Amino acid sequence: MSGTAGLALATRGLRKNYGSRHALDGLNLSVPMGVVYGFLGPNGAGKTTTMRVLTGLVHSDGGTVEVLGKPFKRGDRHRLFDVGALVESPTFYPYLSARANLRELAASGAHVPSKRIEELLDLVGLCDRANDKVQGYSMGMKQRLGIAAALLSDPKLLLLDEPANGLDPAGIVAMRDTLRALASQGKTVFISSHLLAEVQVMADVVGIVAAGKLVREGPLKELLSMQGVVKVRVRPNLVDSAIKSLQPLAAADRLIESDREEGWLAVHVSADRAEDVNQQLAGAGIFASGLESGTDLEMLFLELTGGQAVGGEGTFVGLGAPANGSATTGKETAA
Amino acid sequence: MRLFVSGLRKLVRRPASWVTLGMLVGLLALILIAVGGTANERVNATREAAAKSLITFPEAYDRILQFITGLGGLFAVIYGAAIAGSEWGWGTLKSAVARGESRVKYMLISYVSVAVMIGVGLLITFAVGVLAAIFAAHLANVSTSGLGDSATLGGLPERLLKGWFAVVEEGALGFTIATLARSQLAGIGVGIAFYFGESFATIVLPDIVKYLPFSVANAALATTSTSTGGGGIFAANTDVLSPDQALLLVGVWLIGALVVAAVFSDRAEITG
């Protein structure tokens, strides 16, 4: 595979069909070594299918996969000995304890020293409940145990599907710290998630997928620097005048009207141009009652994915934009 | 070896193992003690003799073994289906595959563990059955002098081995059906339906049914030219194959079932 040197994970032209539906339609991922990679996409975009292909649970219909620099084909299951994975929900024998579940899981795949199980129970904070049957665990506890299971073989590449699911705030912070620590040790962490805020604070590199294709990939800082936004609130009856006055600042197709009723506008300019936006409005005799600036992964995500779910899984639309002016419906206006 | 030991540990800790064994042992002991307690109260001499044959040694050895392979076969179908179905339903197969484990190896070794558990269960049930038959014989004032019959005892290991082989084949059917269905409940339901369906089919298709898995399992242990057809003790009597032929077919069904389970597991897309 060309151009994959130094990558922990690479897919080229990866395809997977379920009947007539293209779950993956030529996916090209390039995950560098030693980073936390956020794999984002709306429901049905192909995130979980990608995870399944990468862990050998389903077989692709075309394309290639490289794991840790080596081809990963149908017969190459040993390649997964260096990979830890949590795909979809964590799965365990409900009648066994956490400790016993880890021990039995460790009997499959790569060899795991027995002391590793105790280390991991300690890491995920389950030592006190390690002898309790998993059937009595909360979702968050199962998720912690799932993360411990993914770490069993001390993997070089960690694939986690929605790892924050069910975790309480303290658990999320602890998980984030753990994953960052793993990346600092040179391990690669690949996180599939729809929690943009979580990915924004954790990932070094992101890939955004829609309709089974990669629509953007790159270092998070770089992507966000191109995604500055200034949100400004004016009187609802002045929205049209405000849009007109702001046209010189942003290209016409980059001015997004977020919520006409509330009067919020999102202007896609560099975040440090909030003052210019305010000045421009004031010059037109329009005074802002609210002004926010920043870089927004959510904006980027919605822009790239069209703010829509694909694959028929549906999404929430049309319930009204939140008061903070986030472009929930992502409606673009031509001034 | 790691997988096999792990498989055994999981089965030993699994409540279904002990519930299945407890039900089989309990039923067998209950029936034998009930027979012992009422054997002398029967007005019909033929029925009394038939009842007493269950608790009269050395014939009781064979009767107990036939009970185990009959009703035990049904329990083995359910047990095998429960083990395979849960691997899919609980998603534990998914976790092992994602760790790089071979699907075929994982499933086949899981069944080897089931086969070992079936063997242990068979021995325990047989031992309890013998003890219950001795107790029942005392209740019915039947002599237990045949207990040490050397000819019967000499052939007992071979009979137990054949019995285990037959029950393992029946368990493999449940295991395979649940693998194909990817579900415990579906596997158990279809397995039970298959078990009784085969016994009902003996009424209309005896020449075909005698080659089917439950019938050959029973025939492998038969001591007469007629025996129970599919569905074990619930089935109508039917002409059966010779024990050697039946044993061969038991092997064919066993291997066939496991090959189907292995191939399906290898090809299946693991989702959910």
Domains with residue ranges and CATH for chain A: 7-219 (3.40.50.300), 226-305 (3.30.70.920)
For residue range A224-273, list pLDDT tens digits in order: 777 677 888 999 888 888 888 888 887 655 666 667 778 888 887 777 78
pLDDT of residue B218: 86
3-class secondary-structure state, position B15? helix
Nearest to A57 among B9, B92, B97 (CB): B97
pLDDT of residue A311: 36
The mean per-residue pLDDT over the stretch B22-41 comes to 90
Chain B hits for A83, CB-CB cut-off 8 Å, are 98, 100
Asked if A95 reaches chain B (Cβ–Cβ under 8 Å), the answer is yes
The distance of B119 to chain A (nearest Cα, Å) reads 22
Q: How far apart are CA B260 and CA B180, in angstroms?
A: 9
Q: How far apart are CA B22 and CA B33, in angstroms?
A: 16
With beta carbons less than 8 A apart as the criterion, state whether A14 and A49 touch: no
Chain B residue with minimal CA distance to A146?
A: B95
Which residues does B241 contact at the CB level (< 8 Å), separation at least 6? B210, B211, B216, B219, B249
What is the enclosing helix (H) or strand (E) of A228? Answer: strand A228-233
pLDDT of residue B42: 67
What is the enclosing helix (H) or strand (E) of B109? Answer: helix B103-139
Q: How far apart are CA A29 and CA A214, in angstroms?
A: 7
Nearest to A205 by CA among A187, A221, A184: A221
Residues shown for chain B: 272
Give the count of alpha carbons within 13 A of A115, CB side only.
0
Do A100 and B13 make contact, defined as CB atoms within 8 angstroms?
A: yes
Nearest to A39 by CA among A164, A196, A149, A181: A196
Alpha helix stretches (DSSP H) within B90-102: 92-98
Task: Please tell me which residue, B83 or A252, carries the higher pLDDT value.
Answer: B83
Per residue of chain A (335 residues), give pLDDT as tens.
557 778 999 999 999 998 888 999 999 999 999 999 999 988 888 999 999 999 999 999 999 999 999 999 888 888 999 999 998 888 999 999 999 999 999 999 889 998 999 999 998 888 989 999 999 988 888 988 999 999 999 999 999 998 888 888 888 888 888 888 889 988 999 999 878 888 888 899 999 998 899 988 988 887 777 767 788 899 988 888 888 888 888 765 566 666 777 888 888 777 778 888 899 899 999 999 988 877 667 777 777 777 644 333 433 333 333 333 333 222 232 22
Q: How far apart are CA A104 and CA B10, in angstroms?
A: 8
CB atoms within 10 A of CB A12: 17
- Residue A225, token pair as written in the block: 């620097």
For residue range A64-83, list pLDDT tens digits in order: 999 999 999 888 888 999 99
Task: Please tell me which residue, A302 or B245, carries the higher pLDDT value.
Answer: B245
Strands B226-228 and B237-239, bridge-based pairing: antiparallel
Listed by number, the residues of chain B in 1-60 with a beta carbon closer than 8 Å to a beta carbon of chain A are 2-3, 5-6, 9-10, 13-15
The distance of B112 to chain A (nearest Cα, Å) reads 15
The distance of B129 to chain A (nearest Cα, Å) reads 30
Do A91 and B3 make contact, defined as CB atoms within 8 angstroms?
A: no
- Residue A200, token pair as written in the block: 């924004």
pLDDT of residue A176: 87
**Which pTM does this prediction carry?**
0.81
The distance of B164 to chain A (nearest Cα, Å) reads 27
pLDDT of residue A198: 84
Asked if A91 reaches chain B (Cβ–Cβ under 8 Å), the answer is yes
DSSP string, B127-187: HHHHHHHHHHHHHTT---GGGG-HHHHHHHHHHHHHHHHHHHHHHHHHHHHHHHHT-HHHH
Quote the ipTM score. 0.85
Mutate to test the interface with B, among A55, A97, A104 (most CBs of B within 10 A): A104
3-class secondary-structure state, position B237? strand
Nearest to B270 among A57, A100, A152 (CB): A57
Chain A residue with minimal CA distance to B16?
A: A95
Q: How far apart are CA A229 and CA A225, in angstroms?
A: 10
DSSP string, A49-62: HHHHHHTTSS--SE
Do A89 and B13 make contact, defined as CB atoms within 8 angstroms?
A: no
Nearest to B212 by CA among B226, B194, B193, B224: B194
The mean per-residue pLDDT over the stretch B144-155 comes to 88
pLDDT of residue A315: 37
Asked if A104 reaches chain B (Cβ–Cβ under 8 Å), the answer is yes
The mean per-residue pLDDT over the stretch B92-99 comes to 93
Chain B hits for A17, CB-CB cut-off 8 Å, are none
pLDDT of residue B238: 52
With beta carbons less than 8 A apart as the criterion, state whether A36 and A179 touch: yes
Strands A228-233 and A83-86, bridge-based pairing: unpaired
Nearest to A80 among B9, B91, B98 (CB): B98
For residue range B109-137, list pLDDT tens digits in order: 999 999 999 999 999 999 999 999 999 99
Nearest to B82 by CA among B4, B20, B149: B20
Chain A residue with minimal CA distance to B89?
A: A91
Chain A hits for B104, CB-CB cut-off 8 Å, are none
Chain B residue with minimal CA distance to A55?
A: B98
Do A87 and B5 make contact, defined as CB atoms within 8 angstroms?
A: no
Do A107 and B98 make contact, defined as CB atoms within 8 angstroms?
A: no
Do B98 and A77 make contact, defined as CB atoms within 8 angstroms?
A: no
User: Which pairs with CB-CB distance under 8 Å and at least 24 residues apart come from B18-23?
Assistant: B20/B75, B20/B78, B20/B79, B20/B121, B21/B121, B21/B124, B21/B125, B23/B75
Q: Is B156 exposed, middle or buried (0-12, 13-18, 19+ CB in 10 A)?
A: middle
State yes or no: pLDDT of B173 exceeds 90: yes
Nearest to A209 by CA among A3, A16, A19, A68: A16
